């Protein structure tokens, strides 16, 4: 097979991506090239990426191709962008084209596979700008109707697909994301201390990793942290790691109003090398998001032995299984009670750690790549 993959979500091919669609695409391509030496791969990038950064993607059975004139895309009507991209794809005579996002050039007539990561924007949920809802309403149905097969990262996303669109269940494959191998390696105590010092973490702490945006329910997490300090009288810190997203202004205002703002640490974007310490030294990892199609950071926290509190909605029950305490993200009382249980029940805490480490090992990028390759074969 000659397989084309849209890699434009990968912004740093040398180091991979920290999260989101870029991380998925990076890991999928890397592991496809690792396990598959027979098929040919054409990896499509924008010119924004320098050629010398592509080294790890260049194998005997792969090559990189840049979409032309992409720097002018914003000045062109959408249909002309579609024509340009379609022309490039057709010139390659691909057997399969895989888009890791819910978008395809509408004029392209070849076999297509897409990955659907979730439908929060399509549903018009309040956690995103209104213009993203309008765009999703136009683009996503077109891509879904055009695709031969769809990959969903969870049964929850598969269920959404079936509820929202007329697509056969047999043509939707649930393929879980994997766990980066580096999360199975523990750094030394000295290395971990150095990283905690880097972020000015000097006390026991609650950890959160993700985009700081409305969807992640940061306000509920801050309320739980205030409960810990005021009601439980514990002098801890709250460490919020991740870049700023939609709705951050409200989050920032909430932090500024807190009596405990001096103990709330915003790290900004965190490199993967620092996460061993941040996950591994945390007393508890809390991820109370309102909506996730998968929830990658939950399995990363599990791999590092952090006891976890996460939401009982969307994909979390499927991904966390019995290795976390599940709470309603709309109910701050449940989150506080779950935190108390972990803090004052050492057996429960250790049980969650053990189950988490075991559960995390079930997620593998090699497995994800093998299952994706099977989808390619079935789409011919």
CATH code of domain 2-178+364-378 = 3.40.50.2000
pLDDT at 77: 47
- Report the distance separating Cα 176 and Cα 118, nearest Å: 13
Nearest residue to 175 (alpha-carbon basis) of 26, 319, 291, 287: 319
CATH code of domain 181-360 = 3.40.50.2000
Bridge partner list, 209: 241
At CA 333, angle to CA 327 and CA 339, rounded to 5?
65
* In the chain, where the domains are located: 2-178+364-378, 181-360
pLDDT at 132: 65
Write out residues in the chain with pLDDT < 50, as ranges: 75-77
User: pTM of the full predicted structure?
Assistant: 0.92
pLDDT at 333: 96
Pair 294, 176: CB distance under 8 Å: yes
- Report the distance separating Cα 124 and Cα 131, nearest Å: 10
Q: 299, exposed or middle or buried, with CB in 10 Å at 0-12, 13-18, 19+?
A: buried
Nearest residue to 41 (alpha-carbon basis) of 50, 53, 54: 54
């Amino acid at each position: 097979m000659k397989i084309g993959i849209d890699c434009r979500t990968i912004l740093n091919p040398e180091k991979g991506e920290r999260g989101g669609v870029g991380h998925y695409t990076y890991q999928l391509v890397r592991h496809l090239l690792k396990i598959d030496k027979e098929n040919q791969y054409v990896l499509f990038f924008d010119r924004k990426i320098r050629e010398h950064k592509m080294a790890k993607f260049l194998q005997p059975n792969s090559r990189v191709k840049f979409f032309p004139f992409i720097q002018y895309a914003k000045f062109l009507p959408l249909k002309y962008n579609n024509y340009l991209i379609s022309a490039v794809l057709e010139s390659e005579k691909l057997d399969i084209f895989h888009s890791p996002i819910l978008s395809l050039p509408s004029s392209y007539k070849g076999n297509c596979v897409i990955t659907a990561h979730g439908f929060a924007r399509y549903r018009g949920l309040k956690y995103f700008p209104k213009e993203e809802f309008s765009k999703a309403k136009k683009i996503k149905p077109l891509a879904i109707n055009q695709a031969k097969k769809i990959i969903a990262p969870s049964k929850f996303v598969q269920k959404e697909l079936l509820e929202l669109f007329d697509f056969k269940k047999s043509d939707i494959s649930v393929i879980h994301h994997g766990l980066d191998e580096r999360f199975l390696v523990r750094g030394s105590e000295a290395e971990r201390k150095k990283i905690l010092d880097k972020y000015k973490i000097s006390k026991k702490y609650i950890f959160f990793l993700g985009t700081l945006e409305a969807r992640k329910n940061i306000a509920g997490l801050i309320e739980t942290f205030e409960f810990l300090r005021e009601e439980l009288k514990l002098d801890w810190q709250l460490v919020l790691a991740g870049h700023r997203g939609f709705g951050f202004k409200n989050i920032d205002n909430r932090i500024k109003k807190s009596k405990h703002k001096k103990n709330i640490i915003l790290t900004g974007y965190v490199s993967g090398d620092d996460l061993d310490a941040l996950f591994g030294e945390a007393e508890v990892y809390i991820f109370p998001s309102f909506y996730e199609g998968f929830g990658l950071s939950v399995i990363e926290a599990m791999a590092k032995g952090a006891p976890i509190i996460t939401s009982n909605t969307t994909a979390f029950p499927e991904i966390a299984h019995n290795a976390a305490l599940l709470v309603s993200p709309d109910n701050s009382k449940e989150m506080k009670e779950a935190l108390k249980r972990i803090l004052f029940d050492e057996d429960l805490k250790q049980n969650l750690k053990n189950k988490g480490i075991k559960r995390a090992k079930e997620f593998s990028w090699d497995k994800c790549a093998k299952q994706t390759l099977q989808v390619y074969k079935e789409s011919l």
